[in-house]
Amino acid sequence: MYQFCFLLLLLTYINSFPKFLDKDSIFKKSNNTKDNNNISKNKDSSDIYLTLINKKHKLPDDWLERVELVPAKNSQGKEFLVEKQALEHFNSLRSKLLEQGIDIELDSTYRSVERQKELWKEFEEIYGRDYCEKYAAVPGYSEHHTGLAIDVCLIKDGRVIDDNDDMIAEVEIFSKIHAILSDYGFILRYMKGKEHITEYSYEPWHFRYVGIKAAKKIYQKGITLEEYLGAV
């Protein structure tokens, strides 16, 4: 009798054993973990702040659905649109520079593809196509379409300095600005000595928001966004 009960209990236990070691459940858990890892990787790789726009890489067609552009105004009353996080960090950067006696202002930010077409046509009529191809971005291929690029001007002794040559001459001021850009998530987009990579001449006034982590790596290595992304 006792033996029969023992065998009955043993058979009951064996029949229930697969429920604890259900192969499908194990693989589902494993696959879920894999999917979660893929999601994380996708988030990293799809980071809008690292989107590359240059003469070879076009603005994604759905870009405006992926970013939040917010209005901004400089001290001269000129109005702009800037990506929300980029603007917040720019305002912090500007405040820090003011503590050092350096005043920068928004000069050019978001620009629509349609506006770029108008500018291209104007420049081509005035300067010719060769000039446009060398110095201007083809509509759809400008960083200013992103809302993440910011051109600044300087306010010095109450005077606005926005001429390109005049700003390039302000070496000391811009060296101080460039030294802290990465602390606020910005990089100097068109560096001196990297023209063969960016295909643009040196622009000390053109900053690009990429996020603090990436900005620090790019600054410390002294490389371009193209090099950082392996797109050279």
Domain-by-domain residue ranges, the chain? 2-45, 48-228
With respect to CATH, is domain 48-228 assigned 3.30.1380.10?
yes
> Could you tell me the sign of the dihedral formed by the alpha carbons of 200, 52, 147, 209, in that order?
negative
pLDDT at 47 over 80: yes
> Of the ranges 1-10, 76-85, 132-141, which is most confident?
76-85
Give pLDDT tens digits for 161-215: 999 999 999 999 999 999 999 999 999 999 999 999 999 999 999 999 999 999 9
**Taking all residues of the chain, what is their mean pLDDT, rounded to a whole number?**
85
Give pLDDT tens digits for 86-131: 999 999 999 999 999 999 999 999 999 999 999 999 999 999 999 8
Q: Which of 232, 215, 209, 222 is nearest to 51 (CA)?
A: 209
- How many beta carbons lie within 10 A of that of residue 98, not counting itself? 12
Structure tokens at 198: 């960016």
For residue 106, the model assigns a pLDDT of: 98
For residue 142, the model assigns a pLDDT of: 96
- With a CB cutoff of 8 Å and minimum separation 6, the contacts of 123 are 131, 132, 135, 136
For residue 136, the model assigns a pLDDT of: 86
Query: What are the catalytic residues?
Result: 203
The whole-number average pLDDT for the span 53-81 is 96
- Percent of the chain topping pLDDT 90: 77
pLDDT at 34 over 60: no
The whole-number average pLDDT for the span 154-167 is 96
Claim: this prediction has a pTM higher than 0.85: no
pLDDT at 22 over 70: no
The whole-number average pLDDT for the span 73-89 is 97
